[in-house]
Structure formats: C-alpha cells, structure tokens
Structure 1
C-alpha cells in the first residue's frame, strides 16, 4: 500500500476506533474462541441483571456483541452438554447419558476437525469430561482401564491440549503447595504429559496461562486459531482466594467463595481481552460464552434468574444459561437475541460461515445461527433436543415439550409450555392443545428413532464400531 494511502486509512480507522492491524485482520479468516464455564446459572452475571456478583469484564465484552436471552446448553449436566457443544449433535446419538458415562466416539465429527480442515491451529484448555483423555488416567469415569473408554483430545484434531478429566477445586486445585499434582488421579495433562508446575492460585488463571501463549504464537505466525476454553468455575469444589473473598464482605459461607471465584474468572476474561487488543486481533476474533448447565443444588448461591429448576432439570433453570457472542463485522454491538438457541448450534454456524464441506451428511441437531445473528430473521429453522436421564425436552421457537421417553414411545404424562409467553414455565398447556402436542410428539419420535440409529453406528462408515453400553443406559462407568 502507498504510504500516503496507508496514513489516510490509519486516520480513518482511528476515527472509528480500529488500528491498521485490526482492519487487515478483519478481512482474513476469523479466529474463534469458545468459552464455556461450569455450573453457572443464568442469573450469575451482571449482563443478566445480577447486582451482587462483579463481572465487569464479561459485561463489557457482552456489550460488544449479542446477548442471548434464551440460550440452552446441550444437556442439564456436564458430559452430555460438552459432547453436544463439540459435535452439534445430541448426546443421545453418542451414548453420553450423564456425567462420567460413555465417551465421545472417535468417529464423531467435531468443531476442531472442521476448522482444522480450513487451516486453523486448534487448542483445548481446561475441563475435558468427554471420556478418558490420557492412557495414564485411571480415575473417576475411567471405565475398566482399556481403550474402550478413551476419547483422546488429539483424536479430534487438537494441536494443543491442556486438560483435566473432570472438575478440580477452583483455587489451588492440587493443594496450597500443589503437592498433590504428582499423585492425583485427576491431573492436568498438557499434550499428554502430567503437569506439576504453575498450579497455584485461581484455576482459570492456570488455564489462561496455557491458552494465551497458544493465542500469541498463532497470532504472530498469522495462523487462524480455534481456542476452546472450558474453566471449572464455579463447579464444586468452589474455592476463592482470600483477596476475592474480601470483595464480598456481606456474603456468608459458600456464597463468599462462589461470588469470589466468578470474579476471579472474570478477571481472566479481562486479561484475555486485553491480550487480543495488544496483538491487534480483536476485530478478527469471534468470542462465544456460555455455561454447560444451570447452577448446582436446590438451594445455593447460584442464581437462575427466576427460571424453574436447576442443574439436572429439564426445566429452563437446568439448561437456559448465560450466553453471548461477539463477532465483529457480523453482529451488531448491544444486540439482544430472544430466539431459543443452543450450544448445538456452534458447529453448524461455523461450518456454514466458513463454507466447510462436512465429510458426510450425518444428522445435526443444531442449526446455523447466521440468519439470526445477522438479524435477517428471529426464527430458528429447526427444533432441538435437550435431555436428562432418559427424559427429553423438545424446544422450538415458541413451544417446549417435556416428556418421559422410553425407546421410541412418548409417555402420557407430558408437559407443554409456551416459552415465548411463559418463560418461567408456570402453566402446562398440554391438555388444552392436543393437536399441537401430537404434532410436537411426532417430531420428538422421529428424533428418537434417528438418535437410536446413530447410537448403534448408523452414521459411521465403520463396520468395527461398537457402541459403549446399551441404548438409554445411564449407569456410570465403573472399574472392573
């Protein structure tokens, strides 16, 4: 570019708040950062109206994009929710019925695989919980120690991975001197090697210390990257450092720790955003934030914002979670999306935007959100499933069915809610709408037949595939 033209461009960009580097990056393939916290309620953040828990960095980041009013996780408990996030497909298709049950089959097509095909560097940082992440792992959910329970991150085209199998305490996860790191059954594995260094203090800081160098390296090499960041906050054991507890002198007991650990996480979001600015890639980076399910326990510090139910429930408090997406150039700042959306939609949306050709036409349960994000429509094109322990919720633009599913049948004790007019699910309208209920049940039945076929390997061109466990069996993996 001619020096004079560059100076003119620079002056214009300064006026609109961009750097030359940002503008150049914005014309290239976007970087993608997908953040999912653990057991955070819809009402636990400032951008959804919480006035007690301090989340200034999340709130500021949310304001740069679209806040989702009705965003659902893939399930109301951890492992199945995470498999839905990765694949755009219901956990019913994978046989991941609950936490520490099943494993993500190697034959599944995932977000990192899709983006890897477009030249992305790919990294996963934090919780895994999709099966055994390392051959040395023998802890909870480890099955019988054979490779039948493996779901190694590198199988799914991750170049770099810093993961634990399941949750760890949110402060000093391996003790005040990290003394348990060498012997714990649930260590951090960094690219397959047990980690014993830099494991003190806030756990999200520990995770971000690995994610940020990955981002820096690929930014400097001008390689588009996917960074999946899954902190453990605020999953139990919820522990906050003394400086974060001190921010909440009026809180008592667990609440002091709960609030503090969320603010500690928020500080790391601020650190991440600042780093993106320093690298000049803020305007070419998509950031999506959500939780894997609603808050733990019937009574506790986690807030659902008045939504009915909590973690493990099919009511919206179990799976309607805090969420937003920042996408410079595509999403208008300070947008509000009221359409029901889901983490099932991440893969279809990215595949659509990047014009990625999927290797086959196996069914997806999510949908591309591009028309909704662009405000071309307020309606999603498909309904989507939401599950918990053999029960199914079927969610559309206006209605939500909750039913006890057994094989392909629908139980008579159905619940139907108009979630557009009755967001808090106070009035079951099933009896008053028999034809509507019949129609929605028909779609749910079709989904169940398709999911059972997927579970049995019908979507995989692999005659050696064998499902782990039995259809709709939710018993936890146990060592023999």
Structure 2
C-alpha cells in the first residue's frame, strides 16, 4: 500500500511540474528579433537576387540558410513614408506620412517599438530613424525606443562624415559628438554589436537601419581600397563623376569614383552581415533569434551613382521615386529561429506586414485597424494563412502617382496615364495592356478610388 501511495505521489508531482513548466514561455515563444533595413539598396544589388559584379557571399549564405522572398515590397518609393509604413502597419492610402520631409510620427500612434515594449521586449535602434527629432513627437524615446544611436533625419544621414549623431541618454534624445573624420557606418555598427554582446534579461528587438548605400557616395576607406588601382583610380569605368552644384543645389559632395564607392558600400555591408551571423552563433542567440534583411525602397540614381552600371534593379523597370517594380520591389531575407532553410516564397507582401508578423512571432495581439497581414506562417514552413486582396501605393513628390498590385496584375497611374501590366509574363513592365483589358482596369480603378483617405499632410490638389 505504501508503494502504491509513493508511485501516486511521484506521478502527481510530475504532472504538477510539467503543467507548471508549460505556463512558462520557451525561448522560441519569446524570440529575439533583428530587423535590418539597408538604404536605397536595389532588388538586383545582391548576389542571391542576380547581382554579378559585386560579391555578397554573406547575404547569399543568409538566403541559403533561410527563406528568400521574391515579391516583397517597400512601403513607398522613398525613405520616410516607407519607414512609416514599417513602423505603423499602414499602407500609403491610410498613412499620415506619404512623402519625404521632416515630418514626425504623431504622439498617439501605434508603432512597432511600442508594441514590442508593451509585450516585455527591450528595444534598440541603430542607424537612420527619419521619423522625428528630439524636439517633437517623433523623438525616438517617445516612440518606444529604449536605446538609439544614429541619424534622426534623412538630410543629416546624407553625411557619412559628421560632427554629431543622436542618442538616447537618461530618457531623452541628445546630440552625440563624433569625429568628423570618422565614417559613421563602422562606428554605428560596433555600437549595435556591443548592444548584442551585453546580457539581456528580457528578449530584445533591434532595428538596424543601415545608411548605406544611400548617397552621398562615400564608402568606409578600408573597404574602398579593394576597388582602387595602385594609383588610386577606380577599378571600374567611372562615366558619371558627380560634381556638387552651386549653392542651392543638391547636398551631396563631389565624388569622382561613385562606382567604386557603390561597390565598396555594398561589400562592407555584406561583410557586416557575416560578422553579425558569426556573433549570434558565438553568443548562442542563433536558435532563438529571427533576423530579417531588406531595403527601404529601390535603388537611387543620385550623387553620381550609375544604377545601370551594376544593373541595380535587375529585371525590374524603374528605380527610386518610381511606382514601377524597380522603385518598390526590394530584397527580403528571413533567417534564424524556425525559418525554413533554402526556401523561396513568391507571396506578394509589403513592409506594412511586418508589425502583425512580429505580433504573431512573440505571441502578442496585433494592433487593430492596420493594413498589414501576418506572414508568420511562412516563417514556420507553412502556407500563408491570409492573403492580400491587393497592395496599394501612392506618391506625392512628382504630382500624384498611384499603383495597385492584385494577383498578377499591376496598375500604374502617373502623369495622366494609366497602365496595366501582367507581372506573371512581363516582370519588366514593358507591355501596357490597359486597352486590351478594360474590365481589369475598371476593377483596379475601383481599388484605387476606395483604398485611400486624404492625409492632412498630403491632401490631394484637386
């Protein structure tokens, strides 16, 4: 009888212990998340998306060890609104910020870092914010960031050599003095890696908003040497040396080797991705950390950059400031945690889908009244649960342009013209089918009309 009692006691104790343990989230239920966003990196700028001249072995390895997305889109075709879409889960028909400028996120908006903090995460940002400054509602510490080092505004981020950056100190965003002879990217990168190295009592979300390869065209000097001849000239043909315009012109400084600098910036960034992956493995973080890599929009053609020289948009038409595929379709690679290895997804997705995806990954409730849909299922090897009926963009800097993708169809409205493309057969958007398929155009036009409301910052000029 005593033995029976002992067995029953042990069994009941095990049940209690196991049930208690199941209430404690595992590390994979509370994964760390690192989101890396390059600046003006084109769809064809890295090897696993077709780049032939610039070698990107680390990003290619990341894709081979993770999942590569072929049909991932930015929030917009320029910086600030694209980053706003990422942070809020809203597409351009519902966004407050729909163009570049010094426009801050409003105080009461639901944003990605706030969501992560509310669910027990520490938050850190390194690089380019572009959505507010220390004196307004968009200041990083007011939008949910615990730590920050980088550029607050787009204009400031045009300078890789600067006498100051910005940081959060004692709960406030303050100027951080810099040696103006030091390239900012390696400095910011080391600060990001230092953040990863320190112990974390809570799971963390790190947003690494890399400022390269945006103009101006200055790569870190040590990497640039790889692309120079012994006499200091570029190993590439430099057809478009950039000379700064007189006062009132663009802010980029003169540059006589933009192609060499372009290659060196992408090379340096790729090497940093390799260092990151090695560091995560050394710290034992690779099994419970998701890493994402993407770009904020298509490749620029500024500051002397010759986009055609490196075929930066690959098979796509257009570049930054276009709503053709080259301006908005961007690389996206997911790696780590449970992400399937060596997989490719062609599901049409956009960066406003990131917020609900992260909510699913951390077992949290997604914010309401957003346009994004979670693609967490793809990251666990399943088919996507929800699919977009359509994706919508608008752009205000050259008048008013709009674009819609619905399945294989893409409608582009600009400068009074309406074009229709079948992306399944015409990825380069060379053949306008609007006249051939008026019913499809009418259906897409209805989406255009019903997918937006005016923004007080960007009202339509009717």
Deviation at 1:283, TM superposition (A): 1.1
Structure 1 Cα separation of the partners of residues 366 and 319 of structure 2 = 35
Task: Report SS of the residue matched to 2:266.
Answer: helix
Q: Check conservation: 1:127, 1:232, Cα contact below 8 A.
A: yes
How do residues 358-437 of structure 1 correspond to structure 2 at under 5 angstroms?
358=366, 361-362=368-369, 364-373=370-379, 374-377=381-384, 380-389=387-396, 390-404=400-414, 413-437=417-441
Instruction: Provide structure 1 residue ranges, at least 5 long, that are not aligned to the other structure.
Output: 1-23, 136-146, 175-179, 182-186, 405-410, 456-466, 474-480
**Do structure 1's residue 161 and structure 2's residue 148 form an aligned pair?**
yes
Q: Check conservation: 1:365, 1:385, Cα contact below 8 A.
A: no
Q: Which residue of 1 aligns with 2:340?
A: 332
**Do structure 1's residue 225 and structure 2's residue 210 form an aligned pair?**
no
Deviation at 1:29, TM superposition (A): 0.8
Q: Check conservation: 2:286, 2:336, Cα contact below 8 A.
A: no
Deviations 1:150-200 (A, max 9, x none): 4111222111111312255788522xxxxx33xxxxx33344121114776
Structure 2 Cα separation of the partners of residues 295 and 109 of structure 1 = 29
- Mark the CA change 1:335 to 1:201 in structure 2 (over 3 Å): closer, same or farther: farther
**Do structure 1's residue 471 and structure 2's residue 452 form an aligned pair?**
no
Q: Check conservation: 2:161, 2:184, Cα contact below 8 A.
A: yes
Q: Check conservation: 2:124, 2:206, Cα contact below 8 A.
A: yes
How do residues 152-231 of structure 1 correspond to structure 2 at under 5 angstroms?
152-164=139-151, 165-166=153-154, 173-174=161-162, 180-181=163-164, 187-191=165-169, 192-197=173-178, 201-217=182-198, 220-231=199-210
Deviation at 1:206, TM superposition (A): 1.6
TM-score (norm 2): 0.80
Q: Check conservation: 1:339, 1:378, Cα contact below 8 A.
A: no
Q: How many residues align?
A: 400
- Mark the CA change 1:50 to 1:365 in structure 2 (over 3 Å): closer, same or farther: same
**Do structure 1's residue 260 and structure 2's residue 248 form an aligned pair?**
no
Q: Check conservation: 1:94, 1:103, Cα contact below 8 A.
A: no
Query: 197-206 or 367-376, which moves further after superposition?
Result: 197-206
Q: Check conservation: 2:31, 2:362, Cα contact below 8 A.
A: no
Q: Check conservation: 1:399, 1:419, Cα contact below 8 A.
A: yes
**Do structure 1's residue 283 and structure 2's residue 284 form an aligned pair?**
no
Q: Check conservation: 1:170, 1:261, Cα contact below 8 A.
A: no
Q: Check conservation: 1:340, 1:396, Cα contact below 8 A.
A: no
Structure 1 Cα separation of the partners of residues 263 and 326 of structure 2 = 19
Deviations 1:23-69 (A, max 9, x none): x9754411001111111111111111212212222221222211111
Q: Which residue of 2 aligns with 1:476?
A: none
**Which of 350, 364, 368 does residue 342 from structure 1 map onto?**
350
Q: Which residue of 1 aligns with 2:275?
A: 271
TM-score (norm 1): 0.77
Q: Check conservation: 1:72, 1:342, Cα contact below 8 A.
A: yes
Q: Which residue of 2 aligns with 1:310?
A: 319
Q: Check conservation: 2:29, 2:361, Cα contact below 8 A.
A: no
Q: Check conservation: 2:185, 2:220, Cα contact below 8 A.
A: no
Deviation at 1:260, TM superposition (A): 0.5
C-alpha RMSD of matched pairs (Å):
2.6
Deviation at 1:378, TM superposition (A): 9.4
Task: Report SS of the residue matched to 1:134.
Answer: coil
Structure 2 Cα separation of the partners of residues 115 and 420 of structure 1 = 37
Structure 2 Cα separation of the partners of residues 368 and 123 of structure 1 = 23
Computing the radius of gyration from Cα coordinates, the structure with the larger value is 2
Query: 67-76 or 160-169, which moves further after superposition?
Result: 160-169
Deviations 1:127-148 (A, max 9, x none): 11113x212xxxxxxxxxxx4x
Q: Which residue of 2 aligns with 1:95?
A: 96
How do residues 69-148 of structure 1 correspond to structure 2 at under 5 angstroms?
69-100=70-101, 102-131=103-132, 133-135=133-135, 147=136
Deviation at 1:97, TM superposition (A): 2.6
Structure 1 Cα separation of the partners of residues 440 and 112 of structure 2 = 35
- Mark the CA change 1:208 to 1:423 in structure 2 (over 3 Å): closer, same or farther: same
TM superposition outliers: structure 1 runs of 4+ over 6 Å: none
Deviation at 1:242, TM superposition (A): 3.6
- Mark the CA change 1:445 to 1:355 in structure 2 (over 3 Å): closer, same or farther: farther
Q: Check conservation: 1:25, 1:281, Cα contact below 8 A.
A: no
- Mark the CA change 1:169 to 1:437 in structure 2 (over 3 Å): closer, same or farther: closer
Deviations 1:221-271 (A, max 9, x none): 341100011011011112123432232242242110110011112222122
Q: Check conservation: 1:199, 1:206, Cα contact below 8 A.
A: no
